[in-house]
Structure 1
């Protein structure tokens, strides 16, 4: 028969073990924290696409020398503006496995844009383009160069469409979040396009960032040398005069690296309840679009 003293000791031991288990889970010693937090409702609500009209969308394609293939694109305007409106523009870089349609199909970004403008953000357009499903938005050994495509082909196309590219923004999530940060850090447009086109703001949602080549997603880089050349850490001069916002869910596998880069760049944004999902990215889109729209406004 269990005595009272034994019962108390057993309960205390169980409590200590429970605290230790939670501590281990929270510090990452025991895997599965994101799953447990999700079951407990600690990863936050999924963002809900606003119930507002979508504005005009102009889509097309062009033969890209930089990408070595035909690429598709879409230009998204807020409701109330037609497709000839001369608006500032934010480039949108999709995540791994996506294409230029992902921002609308997966995130509903066209309706978030309308909602942002109706809430008082200065009007602007969004421009999405195919960067390659697993290119990670940087030049690869096979010659595929999404960065060249962006600044030598896509930005001039947007200028010809009447959009204001002298001050533009860049937004991306996951692979595209990393790509947006890298493109800004490497000063593609300053080196090739010149001062007539300048990025003034970059927003990254859950950017795919790694410190060690051994940890990277297979196929993200050609080799260790490519990984080192394509780092965004320790490139503060690349972000000079550029406003940066980095958001990442606290249970996202990239949370620690995102926090370190945000601190290194003294960027805005933060860590919120969330994981690496479209639901989290939708929840954060209003803040990101407001940030970018205010920065690209004249």
Structure 2
């Protein structure tokens, strides 16, 4: 059952939800929740992920009660929605709004390790995001007319893929951080794709929509994905925001980039 708690309790976990999964008891909890609370979490059974419990978390700037647009934050392999929120998203969001950035919400969801696209097993974490998570956000008091995508590593690839698939009419901005990109199926990490056909069907290279969506790509100069990321940027029709700076494929680099990424996304998301 979904749980509605304050930030101290929510550090224990986070995840995803589908619109049809919200019970009357959850709606009653939401109605009585403290409007100053900055985070809520819940769990739902995702059909797109094969019927497994999937947890979600929503962070709002302190004191925000009006409908906000959302950035969907996609975690990397081996991570979770809870780890995304523990990585500084909530505090960074609050600081940005206090400094004058337009307010928005950040939504994290557990997506497993399937690289945010449909797999031969039938699991489809990408469809979970677009067909289950985003529709339910309206029931959580968010404005789903347009969303942003932010992701790290596997999630950076997922942000590019899902943002492009949702299209420029619905995707306000994409920020891909240290994206897990490879130049060929043979170079991909084991388990990232089900083979060459799966790699080709879910490639983010050459997607026309990425030329029409505001895009930021950040990557450390010591990141193992730096070379592929440079080639990916070179084939884009318009140079993205962001760029390369000293750092590796790790939480220290990602935390350092987060304030700038939030400040970049805020006006685009709320325009």
- Fold equivalence (TM over 0.5): yes
Partner in structure 1 of residue 139 of structure 2: 160
Secondary structure of the 1:296 match is helix
1:84-103 correspondence runs (5 A) = 84-103=65-84
CA distance in 1, matches of 2:210, 2:143: 21
Secondary structure of the 2:235 match is helix
CA distance in 2, matches of 1:63, 1:79: 29
Partner in structure 2 of residue 123 of structure 1: 103
Task: Return the index of the structure with the highest Cα Rg.
Answer: 1
Q: Structure 1: 5+ residue runs without aligned partners?
A: 1-53
Partner in structure 2 of residue 249 of structure 1: 220
1:143 pairs, out of 100, 107, 122, with: 122
Aligned-residue Cα RMSD (Å) equals 1.7
* Contact 1:259–1:270 (8 Å) recurs in 2: no
* Contact 2:148–2:163 (8 Å) recurs in 1: no
1:32-71 correspondence runs (5 A) = 56-68=38-50, 69-71=52-54
Counting matched residue pairs gives 233
CA distance in 2, matches of 1:85, 1:58: 15
Partner in structure 1 of residue 209 of structure 2: 238
Q: After the TM superposition, which of the residue ranges 272-281 and 256-265 deviates more from structure 2?
A: 256-265
Which one scores higher on RCO, CA 8 angstroms, separation ≥ 6?
A: 1
1:238 CA drift (Å):
2.2
1:109 pairs, out of 70, 89, 93, with: 89
CA distance in 2, matches of 1:232, 1:171: 15
Is residue 78 from structure 1 mapped to residue 61 from structure 2 by the alignment? yes
1:259 pairs, out of 224, 230, 239, with: 230
Mark the CA change 1:230 to 1:216 in structure 2 (over 3 Å): closer, same or farther: same
Normalising by the residue count of structure 1, what TM-score does the alignment of the two structures yield?
A: 0.75
Partner in structure 1 of residue 185 of structure 2: 213
* Contact 1:55–1:110 (8 Å) recurs in 2: no
1:55 CA drift (Å):
5.7
Secondary structure of the 1:218 match is coil
1:159 CA drift (Å):
1.3
CA distance in 1, matches of 2:80, 2:220: 23
* Contact 2:221–2:244 (8 Å) recurs in 1: yes
Partner in structure 2 of residue 274 of structure 1: 247
Partner in structure 2 of residue 225 of structure 1: 197
1:20-39 correspondence runs (5 A) = none
CA distance in 1, matches of 2:131, 2:83: 23
Secondary structure of the 1:131 match is coil
